Amino acid sequence: MIDRIARRIAHAFLARIRVGHLVVVEDGADRSYGSGPPSARVCVRSPKVWRKLLRGSRGLAESYFDGLWDSPDPTAVIRVAARNVQSLDRFRARLAPVRAPFQKLRALLFSNTRARSRKAIAAHYDLGNELFELMLDPTMSYSSAFFERPGLTLEQASVAKLELICRKLDLGPSDHVVEIGTGWGGFAAYAALTRGCRVTTTTISHEQHDYAVRRVRDAGVEHLVEVLLEDYRDLTGTYDKLVSIEMIEAVGWRHFGTFFRKCSDLLAPDGLMLLQAITVDDRAYEVEKLGRSFANTYVFPDGCLPSAEVIARCLARHTDMQTLSVGDLTPHYTETLRRWRANFDEAVVRGQLDPAYDERFRRMWRLYLSYCEAGFAERRIGVAQFAFAKPRYRSEPALDLHAVGDPALSAAAAG
């Protein structure tokens, strides 16, 4: 009876699809909703899926990696959902004042302390370097690439992104750069090799730290690069430039002000900062920051996306920096994720993935990549490079932004 009631409620929501086309196959029968692109097909494997779907994105995800439903293209399913979610957004917004006190209490009880931050980072980034080596390109860039022209490989686009950052920061041999969020050492090694600058970079992932140390040594730039295993809040010193590439998403919404204050304190009076950040729409931020979604439950524990308005507010309240430029990379992330997903699927087909990553994990990971790809394609989320300057900064950085919003790539991503 519960499944039948849940099915009726779910089908009532599906009947409100106005943009896109969804076909639901259950017990050999097809039911069609909406019309036009994008088009998606879902095969229901168990009636238990319907009660799960009533729990939102977490239920959608859990039912997928438990095998309750399947699709030849999960990305298309999520794109259809994203185009028809406005009514659900309005409902969540009305419900937000009721839920907010309980969610804020939970946030206070489970604040991003240094120990909790290390545990959350380890849960994702210490899954094993081999997994990421199979999915990413040889630069090991786990952030949006920059497809500055058609025909680039993923590796070439990742190098183009690193080069774009170095140009925007106007890096040279006299600069000492601090990087918050080492990743696997791609930026630190590239900046030292191509610009001859000094780089101090920090991470709280043990696996990333050890990998980055080896990478820097193998590149022959260990005399220029120092890899720390420290929380960004514990950094000291004064630097000419600061870079942080898609690390702010792990900070936690209660600590965005702390993050920007620390960045400002680390920079010289004429310093320059480059932040690459995944953002959520300003209108969705208040609801999303307190929610327990698929992403911040199973993939990035305790993660929270800032909005552009939140970044601007933190900059004004907690720093003396000003915004020099904002460059949108959103369509480039859609393509990046498409390439990562293809690499992951190929590794599975070839049997290259460690058996420790069982079927449930593989389905979870595949859905995570599809979920993000669809989010960027439908602009539920975005990514941008922000350039910030301290009060005495007078130089002109190379803000080559004309190719960032490549119309051809944007059209391809939208299709």
297: Cβ contacts below 8 Å, ≥ 6 apart: 58
Strand order from edge to edge, sheet including 20-26: 29-35, 20-26, 39-44, 69-70
Give CA 378 to chain center in angstroms: 15
Contact indicator for 383, 279 with CB cutoff of 8 Å: yes
Alpha carbons 353 and 347: distance in angstroms, whole number: 6
Side-chain-facing half-sphere of 59: CA atoms under 13 Å = 11
The Cα–Cα gap between 326 and 399 comes to 9
Closest CA to 119 of 259, 262, 300, 365: 300
In terms of DSSP bridges, do strands 69-70 and 39-44 run parallel, antiparallel, or are they unpaired?
antiparallel
Would you call 263 a catalytic residue per the annotation?
no
- The token pair at 354 is 């460690």
Q: Which of 166, 304, 314, 372 is catalytic?
A: 372
Q: What are phi and psi of 326, to 5 degrees?
A: -135, 120
Cβ neighbourhood burial of 245 (10 Å; 0-12, 13-18, 19+): buried
**DSSP per residue, 85-98:** -HHHHHHHHHHHHH
Handedness of CA 263, 267, 270, 274 (dihedral sign): negative
Cα–Cα distances (Å) from 411 to 241, 309, 313, 335, 406, in that order, read 35, 26, 32, 11, 9
Identify the H or E element spanning 198: strand 198-202
Catalytic residues: 372
